[in-house]
A and B are shown apart, each in its own frame.
Chain A
Amino acid sequence: MKILVCISKTPDTTSRIAFKDNNTKFDDAGVQWIINPYDEWYALVRAIELKEKDAQVIIHLITVGGPDCDPVIRKALALGGDLATRVNSTDSDSFNIASQIAAVAKTEKYDLIMTGKETIDFNSSSVGAMISELLEYPFVSLATKFDLNNDIATITREIEGGEETVELKLPMVISCQKGMAEQRIPNMRGIMSARTKPLNVVEPISVAATTEYLNFSMPPAKAGVKLVPADQVAELVRLLHEEAKVI
């Protein structure tokens, strides 16, 4: 069984968000890059658990980006991927990313393709669904549980107003979120072996840009907190009722 796990590089969750070059680019000065938490904690770790149960499982990692993604993909290899591919394209349009991954998947024929539910930088929630359309595979989004019995998967997923459990046959694409697995820390052996695992760099196919990020802006700053003394709770209620008009 071959699993493809899609890995995205994102700024660390505590990063200061700022922009440069006339607000057209993310200012990465001093930013630490991590594996997008949804890709790592949920998709990748669940794939590793499946491999621990069945040694035949091969975990292939893929990322779309420039050479600055290599440290992040090495970290994912240290956690437990078998091999990795980086498609050398820096265009971050979701459709481009999905098209690059689908192009690799068309020749490699994976049984299962896993993504995080979204990235914490662009929050688009779209790459997994787009890959599934390009490959004409079923797609199950926002999965919180995934079990496999031969080629039949049982998946619990979030739906509007609750959750449901569904059954379907491989191959498929799934997007993963909290519940799938627990976070792990790479061990020394993993880190050492990651250095020798293959990381292939392939050139991108040509994809027409459907969208273009022009520039960024910050939300207006809060006016500052109005503090109410702890013994004047009625005043807080009055402010919420008359000033903010929210209760």
Chain B
Amino acid sequence: MVLIYIDHSEGEIKKSSYEALTYGVELAKLLGTEANGLITGTIHGDAAELGKYGISKVFQVNKPELNTIDAAVLTKVIAQAANDTGAKEIVFSHNTTAKTIAPRVAVRLKAGLVSGVTSLPDLTSGFVIRKSVFSGKAFANVKMNTDIKVISINPNSFHISKNETGNAEVIQLDIPVPASSIKVISVNKVRGEVPLTEAEIVVSAGRGLKGPENWGMVEELAKTLHAATACSRPVADSGWRPHHEHVGQTGIQIAPDLYIALGISGAIQHLAGVNRSKTIVVINKDPEAPFFKSADYGIVGDVFEVVPKLIEEIKKIQ
């Protein structure tokens, strides 16, 4: 049985969890088995609705203390849920939650783990799965040798598939929750904005913008496209933009459908964070900027002239 971990933030199910559901359902078809979901903690809305994504059952350990990400506690609960339900493949989305708990769950279940997965397995000789390596510059085919397997899929790598109807049976699991040693002092969630790692469109800007006072047009372009904003490392290091917008080798790695780079040269360390984007648009006044080599579309021009026109033209087609 394939068990899909359904991550949520303050009760809201994450987009990446829907991707994991679709992946898990496809995986179960391939293996000729059943796909079910697992929720730890409390969610808003009706868990039965998750049947629309193709799963038959949703197991839930409905205890509010599980809403805090304590790796030691969640590991024990998830591992027991996997054992009790007879799960053989456990699917996570490779987000901050999975980075904290999936490797621990794998150790506890004596399972192999592959994270950053970008394909369904090839079953012709064993169980071989593809993952992203070298910060998106290459892929590796990895063979999993264990009976139980933990798979953590790259966000934005699989399309979500949802049916009009479908009802999953919701089954409450009675699993004891061990005491947590982690005390949460404060939580600071970014509200109202599109989270960078989940955004379908990202508008990003670099040193070519000259100074923080010029970000108005970047934000306006992002707003017009319902996009998230990002930046290059020197921009975050100079304090022009917050650190959580820094993408690249040493920042956040993203894979949106559309990445628009304004006044960014396209250094190899920057590309390492964005090269999995499906379509890349580069606007740079230097025709020799290395970013053009990795772009799908480009304009050689001054961002201060091109971006206002771009906003205007996009509004025309909306």
Contacts and interface: CB of A to CB of B under 8 A. Distances in A.
A132 B71 contact: yes
Contacts, number: 263
Given A120-B135, A160-B95, A209 B145 contact: yes
A210 B139 contact: no
A168 interface: yes
Contact of A218 (B100, B138, B142): B138
A234 interface: yes
B213 interface: no
Contacts of B128: 214
A120 B306 contact: no
A46 to B, nearest CB: 15
Given A13-B269, A166-B182, A233-B299, A217 B310 contact: no
B47 interface: no
Contacts of A216: 133, 138-141
Contact of B201 (A41, A129, A218, A247): A247
Secondary structure type dominating chain A contacts: mixed
Nearest to A230: B301
Nearest to A134: B107
A216 B132 CA distance: 10
Interface in A1-32: 11, 13-14, 17, 19
A225 interface: yes
B29 interface: no
B249 A211 contact: no
Interface stretch (B80-88, B112-120, B159-167): B112-120
A17 B138 contact: yes
Contacts of B188: 162-164
Nearest to B278: A246
- Most chain-B CB neighbours within 10 Å: which of A225, A237, A241? A225
Contacts of B297: 225-228, 236, 239-240, 244
Interface residues of A, number: 80
A164 B186 contact: yes
A63 interface: no
A123 B310 contact: no
B299 A227 contact: yes
A162 B190 contact: yes
B104 A129 contact: yes
Nearest to B69: A159
Contact of B140 (A136, A215, A229, A241): A215
B246 interface: yes
Given A211-B114, A236-B299, A246-B278, A94 B250 contact: no
Contact-size category for B: 35 or more
B317 A37 contact: no
A163 B187 CA distance: 6
Interface in B178-193: 181-190
Given A125-B103, A236-B299, A246-B258, A210 B95 contact: no
A195 to B, nearest CB: 29
Nearest to B129: A211
Given A215-B141, A237-B314, A95 B299 contact: no
Contact of A123 (B75, B135, B146, B282): B135
A125 B99 contact: yes
A39 B292 CA distance: 32
B107 A130 contact: yes
Contact of B195 (A125, A126, A161, A217): A161
A160 to B, nearest CB: 5
A139 B72 contact: yes
A114 B163 CA distance: 45
A106 interface: no
B143 interface: yes
A117 B298 CA distance: 34
A127 to B, nearest CB: 8
A2 B46 CA distance: 48
Nearest to A127: B103
Contact of A178 (B136, B251, B302): B251
A189 B142 CA distance: 43
Given A161-B195, A217-B139, A225 B103 contact: no
11 contacts: A120-B135, A123-B132, A129-B102, A161-B10, A163-B188, A179-B243, A215-B140, A216-B139, A219-B275, A222-B293, A233-B312
Interface of B: 7, 9-10, 14, 69-72, 75, 94-97, 99-104, 106-108, 110-116, 128, 132-146, 181-190, 195, 201, 225, 243-244, 246, 249-251, 253, 257-258, 268-269, 272, 275, 278-279, 281-282, 292-302, 305-306, 309-310, 312-314, 316-317
Given A129-B99, A225-B298, 16 more contacts: A17-B137, A98-B103, A117-B99, A123-B133, A125-B99, A128-B103, A133-B107, A139-B72, A140-B182, A141-B100, A209-B145, A215-B140, A227-B299, A236-B313, A237-B314, A237-B316
